[in-house]
Amino acid sequence: MKYLLGGFYILFILLSFQRCANPGVVSGGPKDTIPPLLISSYPVDQTLNFDDKTIVLEFNERIIADKIKQNLIISPTTKVKFKHFVKKNTITIQFEEPFQDTTTYTFNFFDAITDITEKNPPFNLVLAFSTGDFIDSLKVFGTLKDLYTDKPVPKATVALYTKTDSIDIFEDTPTYFTTTTKYGSFAINNIKYGVYKMIAFEDLNKNLSFDEDEEQYAFLQDYFNPVDKTDSIRLTSYQIDASELKVNASRISGRYFEMRYSKQVLKYRILETDSILTVNSNITEDKETLRFYNPFQGFPKDSIKVIVESVDSLKNITLDTVYIAFQESTRKKADFTNQIIPATGKSIQPTQSITLKFSKPVKTWDLSKFKVVLDSMNSFYLEDVVATWNHNYTEAYLPQLIKRKQLLDSITYWDQHIVIDSLNPDSLLLTQKNLLAKYDKFSYKLLIENGSFISVENDTLKAIESKYTFPKSENLGTMTVKVNADSIQYFIQLITAQKTDVIQQIYNCSTCNFKDIPPGKYSLRFLIDANKDSIWSIGNIRKDLPPEPIRHFPQETEIRSNFDMQLDISL
């Protein structure tokens, strides 16, 4: 027992020493914000006649380079593979093949190398050397911003393509490239004398290739020599499918005949047909398919010749001749649905109208079945409803169906239908007063009854019910903008502060009056109609046509109830 107790005592002493020897990691203290500092490099920056395949960088603290394969940018672009090794505060980069002769290379590390503790990258770490006896010294710099919001676009690729007879910016790898900072700024240094094309793109899949159908992009019009670009370059990027518009397939699909395009179609028209019957058609929900409906009672053996002109969002046009045919099918008809704009639950401004969109062309309609429902006891049909249809009868534009004053006036209906209490002659006035108080918020339902619209396939559209409100006029504000634009023509847009939605738009006004604006914060932007054709154009990269400019008024403007905000702006 004596020896056993002694053993326990010794074990206790040893465990106590072990605890003292392992005190743990001390928490707290200031955060390390100082980036690693480059002490030496092989080769030294701006070295001439470099003929090695190994690069070595030494820093003043321990480093890691986990993302060097993704984040190291080498210009001009090289396909030569490399391996890297990190030992404490030194990184060695070994290439499998020699560099090209008489070429200036620039290594931009961005955040490819960081310290261990807080992942701080070295500040502006760039290494340039030449395999010849001189270093290319041309450079370009600038900013990349979103065309519609004017916000900086970070982490985008800005690329230079050398002009050749066979250049294809949609397939080729750029000669020089860099990545924009979080502020949207960029710079490409040590460029060889020559002529280049500049493009910026998101490069979401990191393939260093411009995917025009998926990525936001910007481009500088025309080729240029960096010698002539001494000022900052301003690029504006936007998202639009720049791929070619073409028909991928034309064939029978169930009870329909369909043309399927390579991308979304903005609009189309039937230029010619050899049928005496009307051939109804529409673009389906995916925006990439043109569907034709059988105009016959049965299924004719002969096909119908149709010439179709289609246009995409870049105004690219295709002209296609197809021979459409139909066959008997057990596949059920496509659903006949609709969309109403504004959507139910929205507040309708006094200047606003209603648009009805249909999934199929409409054959017949009855606009007398539009009813306003105030509550379970009170409703009335609208009179003199007029619709303006698009070319294929899939969209009806309805000037504002009912105004706030009409709702108030409709209450006078009670003059003829309320029984006056003989003991209280003011009962009618009291009833009207109560109604006015009740409907001052003006929440009402617009009911479009069943059977108001019938499709070309004889589908009957189910009843449509949408709930709307009118804001009180005294709760709305106005804005008056005086514009000094000389000879510039433009669209002025009142947009949300987030720059996502257009509230109102006016074309070419010297004194621009925006009315009935709900309280809140707003911005202004000007879409410049540079060619003065009364249309703002997005341009076309395939034709080297940039978008017409957009100028942003930098200050947010707050609209208050029953107040007129006045601004003076010079373009």
| Residue-wise DSSP of 223-254 | -B-GGG--SPEEEEEB----SPP-EEEEEEET
Q: Phi, psi at residue 478, to the nearest 5°?
A: -135, 165
Q: Do 38-130 and 247-324 agree at the fold level?
A: yes
| C-alpha 387: how far from chain center | 31
The DSSP string of 19-45 is HHH---PPP-S----PPP-EEEEESPT
**HSE-CB for 413 with a 13 A CA cutoff:** 14
Answer positive or negative: Cα dihedral of 242, 247, 249, 253: positive
Q: Which CATH number fits domain 247-324: 2.40.10.10, 2.60.40.1220, 3.40.390.10, 1.10.10.10?
A: 2.60.40.1220
CA distance 354 to 341: 6
Is residue 311's pLDDT more than 80? yes
Q: Which CATH number fits domain 138-237: 2.60.40.3880, 2.60.40.1120, 2.40.50.140, 3.30.420.10?
A: 2.60.40.1120
Band (pLDDT 50/70/90 cuts) for residue 189 is: very high
Which of 379, 426, 436 has the alpha carbon at shortest distance from 402? 379
Tell me which of 21-30, 216-225, 317-326 is least confident: 21-30
CATH class of 338-411+431-470: mainly beta
Q: What is the pLDDT of residue 266?
A: 94
Q: What is the pLDDT of residue 395?
A: 96
Q: Name which residue leads in pLDDT, 425 or 300.
A: 300
Is residue 5's pLDDT more than 50? no
Domain ranges of the chain: 38-130, 138-237, 247-324, 338-411+431-470, 474-570
**HSE-CB for 313 with a 13 A CA cutoff:** 15
Q: Is 328 helix (H, G, I), strand (E, B) or coil?
A: coil
Looking at domain 38-130, its CATH architecture is Sandwich (2.60)
Q: Which residues contact 278 (CB under 8 A, 6 or more apart)?
A: 295
| Residue pLDDT, tens place only, 195-235 | 999 999 998 887 888 888 889 999 999 999 999 998 999 99
Tell me which of 112-126, 146-160, 417-431 is least confident: 417-431
Q: Phi, psi at residue 461, to the nearest 5°?
A: -75, 135
Q: Name which residue leads in pLDDT, 472 or 47.
A: 47
The DSSP string of 208-226 is SS--TTTS-EEE-SS-B-G
CA distance 571 to 385: 42
Is residue 374's pLDDT more than 90? no
Q: What is the pLDDT of residue 408?
A: 57
Q: What is the pLDDT of residue 20?
A: 45
Within 274-387, strands assigned E span: 281-283, 289-292, 304-311, 317-324, 338-341, 354-358, 362-365, 370-375, 378-381
Percent of the chain with pLDDT over 70: 86
Q: Which CATH number fits domain 474-570: 1.10.357.10, 2.60.40.2190, 2.40.160.10, 3.90.550.10?
A: 2.60.40.2190
